[in-house]
Amino acid sequence: MKDIILEVKNLSKRFTLHLLGEKMVPGFHKVSFTLKRGEFLGVTGKSGSGKSSLIKCIYRTYLPTEGEIIYYYKNGNSVDLATCSDKEIVDLRRERIGYVSQFFYTIPRISCLEIVSQALIQQGIDKNKAERKAKSMLSRFLIPENLFGAYPSTFSGGEKQRVNIAQAITRKIDLLLIDEPLASLDKKTKDIVLKEILKLKKRGTSVIGIFHDEKELRSFADRILVMENGKGIKIYENHN
């Protein structure tokens, strides 16, 4: 199991809405796949097909209804992300698993430089070094230096998205979950962001990324999972 980081087995998610007379809303049903270390798995499909729900379950923002998500640590130990304690998830999120949501949740009165450097400081990197790394990533993402001290709530959609991604990928992690990272970016910044994500992958981080454009995915993903109506209808190796 040394080369595998994640094993998703028969994972399902249904929502029960107690306020609407116990109405059941399906998320996705019996999805299975494995993810290798350093592999880029692209997930694609129409909106509403269950893509975001799937990665939210892996990050445990959603509680899976059934199935397993076995996460393998580098030392061979494993843990089921579907059922392990909240404390274990908190530790994994701080140290090993990153998630970039579709929407950026800005924190009042925290500058974009702080947002990116705090993620590093939390991993135990000292403040000066964290700020240096954060500045360098923000510059590569074409965030103007005079905005480093500004609060992202006033940024444009594309700038917010780049800060959001920068915060997740500047630190060293083993698994990156990323939901439509290129939406709302222009061609130039798209290429830059993608390059940085692929750099992370080259250094050994496994990536599960949602992209609605399957053709786009074929230019960089190792494997592609296609979802439709809450089911993984096919998964294929991508040989570019």
Count the residues of the shown chain that bind other proteins, applying the rule CB under 8 A: 23
Contact range with other proteins by CB under 8 A, out of 85-93, 170-178, 182-190, 228-236: 85-93
Residue 19 C-beta: closest distance to other proteins, Å: 6
Contact range with other proteins by CB under 8 A, out of 37-45, 53-61, 135-143, 200-208: 53-61
Contact range with other proteins by CB under 8 A, out of 103-111, 170-178, 184-192, 200-208: 103-111
Q: Determine if 19 is a binding residue for other proteins (CB under 8 A).
A: yes
Return the residue of 8, 29, 35, 60 that touches other proteins, per CB under 8 A: 60
Residue 108 C-beta: closest distance to other proteins, Å: 4
Q: Which of 215, 224, 169 is nearest to 193 (CA)?
A: 169
Which residue number, 68 or 214, has a Cβ lying nearer to other proteins?
68
Print the binding letters for residues 190-209 with other proteins: x by CB under 8 A, - otherwise.
Answer: --------------------
Return the residue of 108, 187, 203, 215 that touches other proteins, per CB under 8 A: 108
Q: Residue type at 238?
A: N
Q: Determine if 17 is a binding residue for other proteins (CB under 8 A).
A: yes
CA distance readout (Å), 231 to 39, 103, 139, 144 = 22, 24, 40, 42
Q: Determine if 33 is a binding residue for other proteins (CB under 8 A).
A: no
Return the residue of 90, 142, 198, 233 that touches other proteins, per CB under 8 A: 90
Residue 93 C-beta: closest distance to other proteins, Å: 8
Residues 109, 58: Cα–Cα separation, whole Å: 30
Q: What is the DSSP string of 65-127?
A: SEEEEEEE-TTS-EEETTTS-HHHHHHHHHHTEEEE-SS--PPTT--HHHHHHHHHHHTT--H
Whether 16 and 24 have beta carbons less than 8 Å apart is answered as yes
Return the residue of 18, 187, 188, 239 that touches other proteins, per CB under 8 A: 18
Tokens 């998500």 — which residue?
69
Q: Determine if 63 is a binding residue for other proteins (CB under 8 A).
A: yes
Whether 180 and 102 have beta carbons less than 8 Å apart is answered as yes
Q: Which of 231, 192, 183, 187 is nearest to 210 (CA)?
A: 183
Q: Residue type at 171?
A: R
The CA angle 173-179-180, to the nearest 5 degrees, is 125
Per CB under 8 A, residues contacting other proteins are 15-19, 56, 60-63, 86-87, 89-91, 93, 107-110, 118, 121-122
